[in-house]
Structure 1
Amino acid sequence: MTATTPYDADRARFTRQALARLVLCDHAADVADGASGLVSTENDPDTGSGGRVSQAFQLIELAERALAPAVIYERERGSSWAEIAPYLGISPAEAEERFAVNPDGWNTAFDVPYRLDDTGRKRVPQPPTAAYDPAWACDRLDTWARSQLVLVNDARPVSSGLVKVPEKEFPSVTP
């Protein structure tokens, strides 16, 4: 088994802040897709009793899952716990206690990007998919944004705003 994969080179082209933003974008798209299912009334007769409550509850769960990547992104761009906490309605100490495990897991995923599966033969990526394969994530999210957002005039509405590592600085990674 080689020590690197083609994804490593793609990941090296982006700053950790940009990768964190991609993960947040990925979760935000899931939240928006979940919300869009509640907008149309056309299929209401086909929805079982309580079905719309189920969809709304799932939307809450999706939004809660987006919160940890939002905190990670804010920490990557230099926000302190004191700056993040007021938006959560808790103290900085509570914010750190509740969310510090997520940045720690994020950091570990970059220190050890793969683990072996139970058979010891297959590598399992540790970073979230959007950070593990940013080229795929950029293509998917750019396409999603162009199709979903009305005021988008940019061909790459997500990836064009991401901070990349200057080409001369990213390491050469060969599989």
Structure 2
Amino acid sequence: MSETTPYDDDRAAYSRQGLARLVLSDHAKEVAEGAAGLVGTRHDTDTGIAGRVSQAQQLIELAEQTLTSAVTYEVERGSSWEQIATYLGTTAAEAQERYTLALQKWINAFEEPYCLDEAGRKRIPQLPTAAYDPTWASDQLDTWAFIHHLGINDRQAVSAGLVMARPADEHLAPEEG
């Protein structure tokens, strides 16, 4: 689709590597929050039978999503499949095969950041929320990290390290003076 969205300019300020890192940060936050829900015991009696197993299973699913986001980030960062496979305990070919579909979906989402619903009225983002609306996501993640003391007193613990897009004129040769 060629129509623009209110988030296009914000997204253009970030490199794909930076957007992938935001998605990874967002998914890691979800894992942390999911794990935190299993720490307390006060409400165990209010949880249905096998409810904690359900929570733990959901945590595994969130962790798998986070792993996919980490692979996407590492590919965007320039890591080779051999390097990635080392940490997955597999071969480069197996790692690439396992994550090709997710990476293709990521790449395609930049070509078409949203599609219309069946009625043709509502835009449905194809990028994860953190990449689709990165300004909002980085603000939210910075606040979350600050509240949880992940960078003690750092109000930009997430956004400060993101790789932003280079300005369009930066690729030009420096002026001779």
Structure 2 partner of 1:45: 45
Aligned Cα root-mean-square deviation (Å) = 1.9
Q: Please tell me whether the aligned partners of residues 141 and 158 of structure 2 are also in contact (alpha carbons under 8 angstroms).
A: yes
State percent identity of aligned pairs.
59
Structure 2 partner of 1:128: 128
- How far the C-alpha of 1:159 sits from its partner, in A, is 0.8
User: Residue by residue, what CA displacement relative to the aligned partner does 1:24-65 show, whole Å, maximum 9, x if unpaired?
Assistant: 111111100000011112222322332222221211111011
- How far the C-alpha of 1:157 sits from its partner, in A, is 1.0
Structure 2 partner of 1:117: 117
Q: Distance in 2 between matches of 1:67 and 1:93?
A: 17
- How far the C-alpha of 1:150 sits from its partner, in A, is 5.2
Task: Give the residue type in structure 2 aligned to 1:105.
Answer: K
Structure 2: stretches of 5+ with no match in the other structure: 171-177
Equivalent residues, number: 170
Structure 2 partner of 1:78: 78
Relative to structure 1, the CA distance from residue 114 to residue 101 in structure 2 (aligned partners, 3 Å threshold; closer, same or farther) is same
Task: Give the residue type in structure 2 aligned to 1:140.
Answer: Q
Structure 1 stretches of 4+ with a deviation exceeding 6 A read none
Q: Distance in 1 between matches of 2:85 and 2:2?
A: 43
Q: Is the deviation greater in 142-151 or in 129-138?
A: 142-151
Q: Is the deviation greater in 59-68 or in 1-10?
A: 1-10
- How far the C-alpha of 1:151 sits from its partner, in A, is 4.4
- How far the C-alpha of 1:79 sits from its partner, in A, is 0.5
Q: Distance in 2 between matches of 1:130 and 1:8?
A: 13
User: Residue by residue, what CA displacement relative to the aligned partner does 1:58-90 show, whole Å, maximum 9, x if unpaired?
Assistant: 111110111111110000000011000121111
Match runs of 1:1-175 below 5 Å: 3-149=3-149, 151-167=151-167, 169=169
Structure 2 partner of 1:173: none
Structure 1: stretches of 5+ with no match in the other structure: 171-175
The answer to which structure, 1 or 2, has the higher relative contact order (CA under 8 A, 6+ apart) is 1
- TM-score when normalising by structure 1: 0.89
Q: Is the deviation greater in 118-127 or in 106-115?
A: 118-127
